[in-house]
């Protein structure tokens, strides 16, 4: 079934079409969210939220972009919302700690390990994901979509709703920032 037929069936409420959509795209959606969030359990939850939103709003989808592009847009938006929510909670926790009422300890795993990384590359992977996590949100999303998910620049422009030159600039700045962040790590590596 082609994408337009799938979309038509989704918009008519066909349950098997939705199952097909999930089975076709769940791994890519999950991997995209995981690369941005860097927490396995949260990535699972957000991926489910992505498909719930698709199910609830597919009738409003006008088909101006590919269905997969729309899925990526929802996935990256939800992942970024989660990051922003965490940052707000962390700031609040910091101020609460300053004033003495800290009932909850908040933490983000600093040693994220992507499950798809081969054992011999775990240390390099940890350092890379730490460095990616330090990137500004738009750079992190563009870098992840390009390097982890393999999307083209044009597809990234559609997902992020930015111009081609903006995407090129984000990717250039992300690479530059990563190069700076990782230079000390690689200087100390024995080759």
Could you give all domains of the chain from N- to C-terminal order, each with its CATH number? 1-109 (1.10.1740.10), 113-191 (1.10.10.10)
Q: Mean pLDDT for the chain?
A: 82
More confident residue, 62 or 190: 62
pLDDT above 90 covers what percent of the chain? 51
Q: What is the pLDDT of residues 131-150, one digit of tens each?
A: 888 899 999 999 989 988 88
Q: What is the 3-state secondary structure of the chain?
A: CCHHHHHHHHHCCCHHHHHHHHHHHHHHHHHHHHHHHCCHHHHHHHHHHHHHHHHHHHHHCCCCCCHHHHHHHHHHHHHHHHHHHHHHHHHHHHHHHHCCCCCCCCCCCCCCCCCCCCHHHHHHHHHHHHHHHHCCHHHHHHHHHHHHCCCCHHHHHHHHCCCHHHHHHHHHHHHHHHHHHHHHHHHCCCC
Q: Is the pLDDT of residue 89 over 70?
A: no
The whole-model pTM stands at: 0.69
């Amino acid at each position: 079934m082609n994408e337009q037929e799938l979309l038509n069936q989704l918009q008519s409420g066909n349950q098997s079409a939705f199952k097909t959509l999930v089975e076709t795209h769940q791994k890519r959606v999950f991997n995209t969210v995981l690369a941005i969030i860097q927490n396995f359990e949260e990535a699972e939850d957000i991926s489910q939220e992505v498909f719930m939103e698709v199910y609830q709003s597919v009738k409003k989808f006008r088909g101006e972009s590919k269905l997969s592009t729309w899925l990526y847009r929802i996935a990256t938006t939800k992942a970024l919302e989660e990051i922003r929510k965490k940052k707000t909670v962390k700031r609040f926790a910091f101020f609460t700690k300053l004033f003495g009422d800290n009932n909850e300890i908040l933490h983000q795993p600093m040693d994220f390990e992507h499950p798809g990384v081969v054992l011999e590359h775990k240390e390099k992977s940890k350092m890379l994901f730490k460095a990616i996590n330090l990137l500004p949100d738009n750079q992190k999303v563009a870098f992840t979509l390009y390097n982890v998910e393999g999307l083209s620049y044009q597809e990234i422009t559609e997902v992020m709703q930015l111009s081609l030159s903006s995407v090129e600039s984000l990717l250039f700045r992300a690479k530059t920032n990563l190069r700076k962040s990782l230079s000390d790590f690689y200087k100390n590596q024995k080759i």
